[in-house]
Structure 1
């Protein structure tokens, strides 16, 4: 009979949580699992499941509740841009399931583009994006999709080969892989009406800029980390851009998120004065 330390190593290799049947297939008997539970090295989230004591708490919870992590919840776990990380968790369950949870959660029952293995505790990235497109407003869904593209978790080409619902097809038609953060997606989408060329995350003079409108109007978005030495570097870069003939507008995260009208007004006036044109 295999030893307990071998069982804990197997669970770690399986992501920390596994069905008991898979453990049995690897040659571990019931006594070894029982010894692990008794010692505290292993937990039993639910009948038919085993977990290492240091397993990811979200995976343990998914096994205990009989759900799959998806949509905003799994997107956040993957480090993708999500408009708001707060709020109820999002889980996937079988289409005709009547499962009820002891707390408020968003339950996704719809069919997905990629088949989901019955033992899965997390959705494939394509399914996560499918639920995002159904669940979030267009602009927010687009930002999450572009974040996944930017992190190379998916490609536009691979996504085009799948069958999508109407909302997801619309997002895919507009998605590009260059936006490093959701605010750049918001900026590009909100300014489409200007009918100007808008590029994000491009290199000018050895530095990346957040957004370039037309030929010469640069819009930089400052986050909370733009202080101290970072702020000094930003000032130097702005000066270099201006010496190269660019005009720079620098706005904050708060302005883009909560005071878009003022940001749009600045850009409209800069465009009206021709600051986006090459001289």
Structure 2
């Protein structure tokens, strides 16, 4: 059993006998382990460990592997707020018999491919997942997801653009806006919403406070926008530290707008309108000394 466990874990917890290169005697050992309940027989010739993720099992029962939005958490990427009827995104080869009914109530979206997939089951590789998710998600969410890939995986900005060269237009457009400096999904989403409103915001801009302090977003040279997570906002000590920091910035001539997760995701139009009003007045820019000869 230890050998079978190692085989499957090396393949992400699920594999076909073909992928495992199992001999006839090894195939019989897999079948016996499934009969004992030590392994799961997912479909003919496909076995999984009992602790395999439920979505991975559903995708394999349907006939393929997780990809796109359904695979984001498996690559430790930012996951957008999902509706209760979220689809299960499955990549399947055209030569495979697909059984949608095996998803057990979940809505299934099949992404067909003529290419040999490796692995055939489990979770698709990072580039595949990014390309499909970036094409399906609204642009602010797609950019936030790509930003998180630049933060938390070995992917580099250059590597992302190289991968994106073969993606669909929507995905390529999102990749062009990705920024490795962004530190949270909320920050990324707001940056793109402002971009779409014609307002440029610089992520993680340095502040003159010492200690490598940075602003989540800086607009112009004077308007700072801070994006608080729900967990951060709930900590009294963190909140007091934020207020002290805001006071210091205001004393230096900055305008500070502090937003939380719910405002950005539940009231995006209102948030953008508030920031746009400040920008329209020119308050995001420091006053410049009048040059000699200028009309007062």
Q: Partners in 2 of 1:7 and 1:99 — Cα distance? A: 26
User: Deviation per CA, 1:159-182, whole angstroms, max 9, x where unpaired?
Assistant: 332422222222222222222223
User: Deviation per CA, 1:127-182, whole angstroms, max 9, x where unpaired?
Assistant: 11221232222232222222222223522212332422222222222222222223
Q: Partners in 2 of 1:76 and 1:111 — Cα distance? A: 26
Bigger shift: residues 103-112 or 247-256: 103-112
**Corresponding residue number in structure 2 for 1:78:** 75
Q: TM-score, normalised by structure 1?
A: 0.84
Q: Could you tell me whether the CA contact under 8 Å between 1:92 and 1:107 is conserved in 2? A: yes
The secondary structure found in structure 1 opposite 2:225 is: strand
1:198 pairs with 2:201: yes
Residue 218 of structure 1 deviates from its aligned partner by 0.6
Residue 272 of structure 1 deviates from its aligned partner by 4.3
1:232 pairs with 2:240: yes
Bigger shift: residues 69-78 or 202-211: 202-211
Number of aligned positions between the proteins: 274
**Corresponding residue number in structure 2 for 1:8:** 5
**Corresponding residue number in structure 2 for 1:217:** 223
1:172 pairs with 2:169: no
1:160 pairs with 2:161: yes
| Pair 36,194 (structure 1): closer, same or farther in 2 beyond 3 Å | closer
**Corresponding residue number in structure 2 for 1:269:** 277
1:133 pairs with 2:139: no
| Pair 193,84 (structure 1): closer, same or farther in 2 beyond 3 Å | closer
Runs of 5+ unmatched residues, structure 1? none
| Pair 30,257 (structure 1): closer, same or farther in 2 beyond 3 Å | closer
Q: TM-score, normalised by structure 2?
A: 0.80
Q: Partners in 1 of 2:153 and 2:147 — Cα distance? A: 10
| Pair 33,210 (structure 1): closer, same or farther in 2 beyond 3 Å | same
User: Deviation per CA, 1:37-84, whole angstroms, max 9, x where unpaired?
Assistant: 232212211111122222333323332221210111001333323332
The secondary structure found in structure 2 opposite 1:15 is: coil
Bigger shift: residues 27-36 or 42-51: 27-36
State how 1:239-254 maps to structure 2 within 5 Å.
239-254=247-262
**Corresponding residue number in structure 1 for 2:293:** none
Q: CA RMSD in A?
A: 2.8
Bigger shift: residues 27-36 or 118-127: 27-36
